[in-house]
């Protein structure tokens, strides 16, 4: 068995520490660069809309699709819409609603139903009621 002196061991350990430090610094720099336009904070608070937790069983496929699409909570601010911090591309939809283009050709329409109520209707046929979040 070869024994190394303390100086040799600390030099070897120092090299590993330096490599680890450079790797961590590079990872942090890469994460900071990932911000992109999708992580900008909305300019104002807007209105928060969420899927209606009181929706019945027939609406559950729409609720699942809303969660998977990230549309279970939407912030509406004038003509802008956000799913969390991600801006959504919307266009005017039928009957005063908004059309949202999602990935893989999926579309959704936010359609007004009553005061404080919207329907989120997907192009695949599923839909779920949404309500305006108040006082949280």
Same domain, 52 and 12: no
Same domain, 50 and 27: no
Higher pLDDT, 45 or 51: 51
Mean pLDDT of 107-127: 93
Same domain, 25 and 48: no
Domain count, the chain: 2
- Please give the pLDDT value at position 109: 94
Query: Is a pLDDT exceeding 70 seen at residue 44?
Result: no
Using pLDDT thresholds of 50, 70 and 90, give the confidence band for residue 127: very high
Q: In which domain, by residue range, is 10 found?
A: 6-34
Same domain, 70 and 115: yes
Mean pLDDT of 32-49: 58
- Please give the pLDDT value at position 49: 92
User: Percent of the chain, pLDDT > 90?
Assistant: 34
Interior/surface letters 80-101, b for 16+ CB within 10 angstroms, e for the rest: ebbbeeebbebeebeeebbbbe
Using pLDDT thresholds of 50, 70 and 90, give the confidence band for residue 26: low
Residue 70 lies in a domain: yes
The span from the CA of 116 to the CA of 69, in Å, is 22
Same domain, 30 and 57: no
Same domain, 113 and 62: yes
Mean pLDDT of 67-95: 89
Same domain, 52 and 119: yes
Residue 69 lies in a domain: yes
Same domain, 115 and 87: yes
**CB atoms near residue 116 (< 10 Å):** 13
Residue 1 lies in a domain: no
Same domain, 14 and 65: no
């Amino acid at each position: 068995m070869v024994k190394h002196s303390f100086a040799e061991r600390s030099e070897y350990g120092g090299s590993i520490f330096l490599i680890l430090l450079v790797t961590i610094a590079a990872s942090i720099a890469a994460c900071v660069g990932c911000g992109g336009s999708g992580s900008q904070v909305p300019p104002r608070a807007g209105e928060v809309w969420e899927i209606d937790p009181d929706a019945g069983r027939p609406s559950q496929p729409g609720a699942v699709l809303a969660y998977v699409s990230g549309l279970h909570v939407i912030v509406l601010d004038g003509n802008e819409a956000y799913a969390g911090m991600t801006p959504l591309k919307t266009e005017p939809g039928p009957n005063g609603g908004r059309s949202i283009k999602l990935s893989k050709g999926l579309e959704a329409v936010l359609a007004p139903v009553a005061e404080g109520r919207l329907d989120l209707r997907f192009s695949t046929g599923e839909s779920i009621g949404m309500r305006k979040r108040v006082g949280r």
